[in-house]
Structure 1
Amino acid sequence: MKIAIVGYGTAGQAAALFLARGGHDLEVFERSEALRPVGAGFLLQPTGLRVLADLGLADAALANGARIERLHGVNAAGRRIMDMCYADLAPDLFGLGMTRGALFALLHDACERVAMIRTGTAITALSTDGRSLTDAGVGRHGPYDLVVVADGSHSSLRAQAGHVARDPLYPWGAMWCLLPADDWPHAAELRQRYDGTRTMLGALPVGRRPADGARRWLTFYYSLPGAEIDAFDAGALARLHDDVQRLWPELAERTRTLVEPAQLNRARYRDVVLRRPWRDRVVCIGDAAHGMSPQLGQGVNMALLDAQALADALDVQRGDVAAALPDYARRRARHVAIYQAISRWLTPLFQSDHAALAPLRDACFGPLGRLPLMRAQMLSILAGTKRRWL
């Protein structure tokens, strides 16, 4: 088939690699003039690592990432709120912190060999039958046998490609940056600090960037209301330093290098729900189909799983698009729905103006996490392996 992929993030890259196995003719459209990663470092879960293994990229990912064995979080009083170790779910499980640049480079090196990549081409519209694309310069592309929409949570095509139930911006987001990980004592842990529901700090080891040789990095993030992210200035940076010094002096030694607001990047999230992720010959994958808060760290993993499932459905249905797209939607529906619901429920406990939720969170999370049944459920959610409510 002749297939167009709109968007060259993780979802679009992975879709190109999986679909190339079927011998399809692939054309990828990316709005940016230069190909580059977008977004903070992330935690690749065991589910995502298995997808990379299927692509033959797991060893390269492990060489560039940082093995994460534990999630640990405490509140301003030092009370332990989160303490989860992957090995408590299964001895061989772990997560992998990575920079976006490292994963982007791994996927791009493989994609260049299997797809035509058109940069500086912002696709703005789909034809009525979903077989052709129009770009911002009113150029027309197609027809295609299948169009894969993978242009992220702020997708410009989602409303034309799927049946949108909701896609509001979350009221909170985060500022983030990379910090040198030299001598960081928690090299295998995602660490967080919470002060009520309004302040959350995090430090995630993410391994190497392609251009930095052996140097390793941390992703630092700091949650803020959306309006404060949009207006982040020198005064906001001073408040960030005060919060870090008060809650996490150990980390403050590293954040002192942040002297300009421009050294931090902005991240906003959407809560995207589609009644179904396809119509005619168009299908949405990744954040374009199910954007969510990063509270569970599942965005990249979901994108990889979507790409794999779409290619599998096309193979099983022998290229019959009319049968394959509903099959793809069924394969992913339950898993996606569970994580969207849990993310929507958890986010206000950590990023919101609902101050009354913090005492409830602080009183319950630690004790519940020590009960064997609840601990197993929480670890399954963290690892990305939960596919049923019960």
Structure 2
Amino acid sequence: MEQTACVVAGGGPAGMMLGLLLARAGVEVTVLEKHGDFLRDFRGDTVHASTIRLIDELGLGDEFRKLPQSRLNAAAFPLPNGGMLTLGDFASLKPPYNYIAMMPQWDFLNFLATEAAREPTFRLLMRHEATSLMFDDGRVTGVRYRTRGGSEEASTEGAIHADLVVATDGRHSVLRRSAGLQPKEYPVPFDTWWFKLPRHASEKGAVAGIVPAFRGREAMIALFRDDYYQMGYLGPKGTDARIRAEGVERFRERVAALRPDLADRVDAIRSLDDLHFLDVRLDRLRRWYVDGLLCIGDAAHAMSPAGGVGINLAIQDAVAAAARLAPGLLQGRVTVHDLAAVERRRRMPTVLLQTVQRVMHRAVFVPLFAGRRAGVPSVVLFLARRVPALTRLMPRLIAFGPRPEHAPGFARRAQRSAA
């Protein structure tokens, strides 16, 4: 049976960053990713300033900035009078960390995978899906997995023993369920339907901001890509069946009403199969670990899309985990005390950001879907206009988050310029 120091289940941002950092410490680490590549639409695509700073500390900043990306310079909301309220003007932050990078997540993950592959102790196994945990005398000792073959190949099963298993397998984590870890769930008033609309050549350019559109009891956001818009329609939770029953033409009408400037291209939504439905969840494990297993990222705390903070929080989890656990992994002993220390460090930022999201849900989305108000709450307008400290704090909170992590010393390298 295979043996490694650490198995990371899930090749998302948290899993790939953790794999890279541990490998740079000399830890034998294996990352299991159930898909054959990273090319999946409608993932979170924001790389926050704290992550960009981390990449610079890893000596990879020049190469990162060569990747296709655009810069998000502000977070703004429309006002009833047609004006805009800017809550996060990132230009007020100290360069070069005065923006949020927008790039397809597959580019970011391929970038991390390429860098991790340079380390001799790193291994990435694609088409390997973690299915359950293995135990010995109550301690997690490894994972069972299923390989996914091509269309003509049958799947096979295997197992890897490890000194530590880290679950980064998302909000529907199989491993946390296998460990008996239960999340506390919080109510969410909306779900999201993602889809694409064409972006004309005349519309290309730097991203100035992400501005949501509100109308009646509906909302929509748009993210810029090289040749298309990634659109997110927000509607009341539990209405997916009704929206699909109304048909594609009715959905096109909704989009056109919310964004009249994009009404000329709604026919690009050929059918409702073009919609990617996201059942939005907000939850947090009561405990993130058992002996031999640690959960981080969405496996420990599913985040709402509100604020776009999920990727950044997951990456910060990975950095804190690597810094604390690498020494023990190199010695072949990671204790429950070590796992608890990672949770203690990352619980406060998680609780704070989830609390902000819950307030946003109650203040913006609950009134919106009840038909009481569409847009920015009056109290937010008042505070933004009368409390200057708020407008100075918000850009930093959005761009860096609470308790941003720095690269541990063992993972830092001199800057390597891109070819």
TM-score between both structures, scaled by the size of structure 2: 0.80
* Corresponding position of 2:215: 195
* Corresponding position of 1:211: none
2: CA distance, partners of 1:159 / 1:316: 28
**Which amino acid in structure 2 is aligned with residue 131 of structure 1?**
T
* Corresponding position of 2:143: 133
Alignment pair present for 1:99 and 2:112: no
What secondary structure is seen at the aligned counterpart in 2 of 1:19? Answer: helix
* Corresponding position of 2:411: none
2: CA distance, partners of 1:56 / 1:219: 31
Residues 118-127 or 305-314, more deviating: 118-127
2: CA distance, partners of 1:155 / 1:329: 17
Does the 8 Å contact 1:313/1:328 carry over to 2?
yes
What secondary structure is seen at the aligned counterpart in 1 of 2:377? Answer: helix
2: CA distance, partners of 1:164 / 1:338: 20
**Which amino acid in structure 2 is aligned with residue 314 of structure 1?**
L
Q: Mark the CA change 1:64 to 1:147 in structure 2 (over 3 Å): closer, same or farther.
A: same
How many equivalent residue pairs?
A: 379
Does the 8 Å contact 1:244/1:252 carry over to 2?
yes
**Which amino acid in structure 2 is aligned with residue 338 of structure 1?**
L
Offset at residue 245 of structure 1 (A): 2.6
Offset at residue 229 of structure 1 (A): 3.0
Q: Which residue of 368, 374, 378 maps to 2:383? A: 368
Offset at residue 290 of structure 1 (A): 1.1
Alignment pair present for 1:74 and 2:89: no
Offset at residue 26 of structure 1 (A): 1.9
1: CA distance, partners of 2:375 / 2:209: 25
Offset at residue 162 of structure 1 (A): 7.1
**Which amino acid in structure 2 is aligned with residue 37 of structure 1?**
R
Offset at residue 38 of structure 1 (A): 5.5
Superposed CA deviations along residues 287-313 of structure 1, whole A, max 9, x for unmatched, are 111111010111111121111111111
Q: Mark the CA change 1:79 to 1:246 in structure 2 (over 3 Å): closer, same or farther.
A: farther
Q: Which residue of 236, 243, 253 maps to 1:242? A: 253
Does the 8 Å contact 1:162/1:276 carry over to 2?
no
* Corresponding position of 2:88: 84
What secondary structure is seen at the aligned counterpart in 1 of 2:373? Answer: helix
Does the 8 Å contact 2:133/2:140 carry over to 1?
no
Offset at residue 383 of structure 1 (A): 1.6
Offset at residue 3 of structure 1 (A): 1.0
Offset at residue 58 of structure 1 (A): 3.5
**Which amino acid in structure 1 is aligned with residue 346 of structure 2?**
R
Superposed CA deviations along residues 251-283 of structure 1, whole A, max 9, x for unmatched, are 333444223222232222221212231111110
What secondary structure is seen at the aligned counterpart in 2 of 1:334? Answer: helix
Unaligned runs of 5+ in 2: 147-154, 405-419
Q: Mark the CA change 1:165 to 1:199 in structure 2 (over 3 Å): closer, same or farther.
A: same
**Which amino acid in structure 1 is aligned with residue 215 of structure 2?**
D
1: CA distance, partners of 2:403 / 2:124: 35
Does the 8 Å contact 1:203/1:221 carry over to 2?
yes
**Which amino acid in structure 1 is aligned with residue 389 of structure 2?**
L
What secondary structure is seen at the aligned counterpart in 1 of 2:343? Answer: helix
Q: Which residue of 338, 344, 347 maps to 1:324? A: 338
Alignment pair present for 1:301 and 2:312: yes
1: CA distance, partners of 2:115 / 2:95: 31
* Corresponding position of 1:124: 132
Does the 8 Å contact 2:324/2:342 carry over to 1?
yes
What secondary structure is seen at the aligned counterpart in 2 of 1:203? Answer: strand
Offset at residue 87 of structure 1 (A): 1.7
Residues 133-142 or 305-314, more deviating: 133-142
Q: Mark the CA change 1:359 to 1:173 in structure 2 (over 3 Å): closer, same or farther.
A: closer
* Corresponding position of 1:335: 349
Superposed CA deviations along residues 61-118 of structure 1, whole A, max 9, x for unmatched, are 4331111101222156635455431123445411111112222221232344521414
Alignment pair present for 1:382 and 2:398: yes
Q: Mark the CA change 1:68 to 1:278 in structure 2 (over 3 Å): closer, same or farther.
A: same
Offset at residue 177 of structure 1 (A): 2.6
Does the 8 Å contact 1:72/1:191 carry over to 2?
yes
Offset at residue 193 of structure 1 (A): 1.0
Does the 8 Å contact 1:41/1:219 carry over to 2?
no
Does the 8 Å contact 2:144/2:160 carry over to 1?
no
**Which amino acid in structure 2 is aligned with residue 321 of structure 1?**
V
